[in-house]
Amino acid sequence: MSKLKKLQLSLFRNIEQATLHFTDGLNLIIGDNAAGKTSLIEAIWVLSSGRSFRSSKPAHLINNQYPEFTLFAEVEQAEQNYKIGLTRSIESSLCKINGEVEKSQAQMAVHLPVQLLTPESHRLLEEGPKIRRQFMDWGCFYYAPEFIKLWRIYQRVLKQRNNALKQQQAKSQVQLWDTQLVDVAEKIDDIRSNYISKLSPFVAQFCVALMPEISENLDMNYRAGWAKAAENYHSVLSQNYYKDAKLGHTQYGCHRADIRFKFAGTEAMLKLSRGQQKLFVCALLLAQASLFEHTSGEQVIMLIDDLPAELDGNHRLTLLKLLDLLKIQHIITTTSEDLIPCIQTDTTKIKIELGKII
């Protein structure tokens, strides 16, 4: 079980100092617009992933009047307690786990596995493949411990190959990188396709639970980033060498992977209403949470920013019941308590006003 027990913030956005205690089930954060609700969700996300979901730059996370922020969390996982700390300024970042400096952000994610649903989550269906790769790789990170190392090697080798292409080095120089790139790409591809095939039945199951009105079967189609049916990756690189050289970068590979979602042959984005798109993203996250539990025996912590903006009353209730059934700790923000159907007696309610917990 992974449960967030306590969160302390110092000089994070509009929150100068705050300490929050969480229950294992439903935690409601209630406040008016601009009170600091999303900032609290963002703080937990930053502690887990090392970055904001608003921008890749950290400046907006640091309180305007000060040079750095500090976040601290206490997490219970597999009957152990972990204290996770992060201090961040524009130039530097210091992570600590149980008082020891931790160089790898990945360890923070291991001890604080969180998922995030925001009013922008339907972008997963609308936008380019990057956001879907992030979704898939969140799962692969926890599903296969070697994934993160392979992904780092892949990025490093791809960068070297792209540099060689940009500098118009000789073909033999560029192709020096191919064997290494192919070796690691095939391993990443194996993990991703395996993960998606394991995830797919869970997604189908949660689609039925959240959108029983849809009778068509869901088809989740993983794409490697090169035409696998036609060629192996090595020959794809060889055959596209001249085009790559002209463009100055490698066109095909794991950095171009994607997942397509279709209902009876129709793209999910075209078939589903806006509300259904949000429910579909909920189904994807719940599926990941369930597979995560199957493989690790742990549970994720679900962060939901502005639940009422996401779903209507009935669907809010269905989602909360599912989270309760799956015993997932959930931290939800809302502008009004009345909009959240409370189905548990031990709900923790946290009120925030102009950056202060009241």
Which positions lie near ligand ATP, rule CB under 6 A?
13-14, 31, 33-39, 60, 62-64, 335
Q: Cα(47)–Cα(28) distance, rounded to whole angstroms?
A: 19
- In angstroms, what is the minimal distance from the CB of 122 to Mg ion? 16
Q: Does residue 39 bind Mg ion (CB under 5 A)?
A: no
Q: Which is nearer to ligand ATP, 35 or 320 (CB)?
A: 35
Q: Which is nearer to ligand ATP, 20 or 283 (CB)?
A: 20
The footprint of Mg ion on this chain (CB under 5 A) covers a number of residues equal to 1
34 binding partner (options Mg ion, ligand ATP, none; Cβ < 5 to 8 Å by kind): ligand ATP
> Looking at beta carbons only, is 146 or 337 nearer to Mg ion?
337
Q: Where are the alpha helices (DSSP H) in 68-213?
A: 105-111, 123-126, 129-143, 147-166, 171-175, 178-210
Query: Could you say which of Mg ion, ligand ATP, none residue 106 binds, taking C-beta under 5 to 8 angstroms by partner kind?
Result: none
Q: How far apart are CA 225 and CA 243, in angstroms?
A: 16
Tell me the C-alpha distance between 224 and 204, whole Å. Answer: 21
> What is the rounded (10 degree) CA torsion for 54, 58, 64, 67?
170
- Work out how close the CB of 79 gets to Mg ion at its nearest, in angstroms, rounded to a whole number: 34
- What residues contact 109, with CB distance under 8 A and at least 6 apart? 48, 49, 50, 141
What are the backbone angles phi and psi of residue 43, rounded to the nearest 5°? -60, -45
* Residue 18 vs 214, nearer CB to ligand ATP: 18
Check binding of 318 to Mg ion (CB under 5 A). Answer: no
State the binding partner of 3 from ligand ATP, Mg ion, none, CB within 5 to 8 A by kind. Answer: none
Residue span binding Mg ion (CB under 5 A) among the ranges 38-46, 68-76, 129-137, 178-186: 38-46
Establish if 38 lies at the interface with Mg ion (CB under 5 A): yes
CA distance 12 to 14: 6
Shortest CB 43 distance to Mg ion, Å: 13
Rounded Cα distance between 76 and 89, Å, is 27
* CA gap 46, 1 in Å, rounded: 21
Q: How far is the CB of 102 from ligand ATP (least distance, A)?
A: 25
As a whole number of Å, the end-to-end CA separation of the chain is 29
Residue 60 binding partner per list ligand ATP, Mg ion, none, with a CB distance cut-off of 5 to 8 Å that depends on partner kind:
ligand ATP
Question: What gap in Å lies between CA 183 and CA 176, rounded to an integer?
Answer: 13
Whole-number minimum distance, CB 4 to ligand ATP, in Å?
18
Is 121 a binding residue for Mg ion by CB under 5 A? The answer is no
Gyration radius from the chain CA atoms: 22
Contact in structure between 13 and 61 (CB atoms under 8 Å): yes
87 binds, among ligand ATP, Mg ion, none (CB under 5 to 8 A by kind): none
**C-beta of 235: minimal distance to Mg ion in Å?**
49
- In the chain, what are the helix, strand and coil shares in percent, each to the nearest 5? 45, 25, 30
Q: Residue 46 or residue 214: which is nearer to ligand ATP going by CB? A: 46
Q: How far is the CB of 331 from ligand ATP (least distance, A)?
A: 13
Closest CB to Mg ion among residues 161, 278: 278
